[in-house]
Amino acid sequence: MQVEILYRPSYSIARVILSPNETIVAESGAMLSMSGDMQVETKMRGGVLQSLARSVLGGESFFVNSFRASARGGEILLAPTLTGDVFVLTMQNQSYLVQSGSFLASSEGVTTDTKWSGAKTFFGGEGLIMLRCSGSGTLILSSYGAIHEIDLAPGQIYTVDTGHLVAFPETIGFKVRAVGGLKSTLLGGEGLVVDLTGPGKVLVQTRSVRAFLGWLIPKIPKRSSD
């Protein structure tokens, strides 16, 4: 599998070249175009319960699409929902925690689920939902805005707003907390942050969906009661 990122960083798409009979798994709706002889299968990844967990807890599609190239190989173009960048990780028996909505596609050797040891921290009403992507192969992520990489030294603590966090290795320590007190959270425009402890590389996005919706929603005309 070869992946080329085109039109970055604002309207990035992934051009994926598949070897003969090779398969890539992508989020529902991610396919922009593909070779005419590509075989497509829509299924619940990991069964009903795991697919439901990915959908309800992870904010991802209940179904995923599996694209298999023909004996001659094939090409597929993948595009995220939001305008922004696309980033490729080559995993070798590794695990990454990926922000909900940032998973775009992966090779068959990478599994995606919500059943991992940190679930209580993230799913316990603290406002941050992550997916666990593990295994060996290619992982394709998307972002809202551009991707910014932060390399943390051993023991270095770095704080990231939850709306800007894209992904980080599971080996990095983390703690979710509120910024300041209740007044700061309600009036200061800030919410929850994650304290990350190195070593490792953290991927963040330069724009926040939550912040954009907070700007957009008050400007939407309200329907008259008349």
CA 163 to chain centre: 12
Please identify which residue in the block is written with the tokens 């993230």. 122
pLDDT at residue number 85? 95
Q: pLDDT (tens digit, 9 = 90+) per residue, 124-162?
A: 444 467 888 999 999 999 999 999 999 999 999 999 998
pLDDT at residue number 47? 46
Task: Let me know: does 210 contact 165? Beta carbons within 8 Å.
Answer: no
pLDDT at residue number 35? 96
Give the chain's domains with CATH numbers.
2-218 (3.60.160.10)
* Residue at 120: amino acid letter: K
Q: What is the mean pLDDT of the chain?
A: 83
Task: Let me know: does 205 contact 148? Beta carbons within 8 Å.
Answer: yes
Q: In the chain, which residues have pLDDT < 70?
A: 44-63, 114-128, 180-190, 224-226
pTM, two decimals, is 0.82
pLDDT at residue number 60? 47
3-state SS, one letter per residue, for the chain? CEEEEECCCCECEEEEEECCCCEEEEECCCEEEECCCCEEEEECCCHHHHHHHHHHCCCCCCCEEEEECECCEEEEEECCCCCECEEEEEEEEEEEEEECCCEEEEECCEEEECCCCCHHHHHCCCCCCEEEEEEEEEEEEECCECEEEEEECCCCEEEEEHHHEEEEECCCEEEEEECCCHHHHHHCCCCEEEEEECCEEEEEECCCHHHHHHHHHHHCCCCCCC
pLDDT at residue number 104? 95
Q: Please state, in angstroms and rounded to a whole number, the distance separating the CA atoms of residues 190 and 217.
A: 17
pLDDT at residue number 53? 45
Q: pLDDT (tens digit, 9 = 90+) per residue, 195-218?
A: 999 999 999 999 988 788 888 888
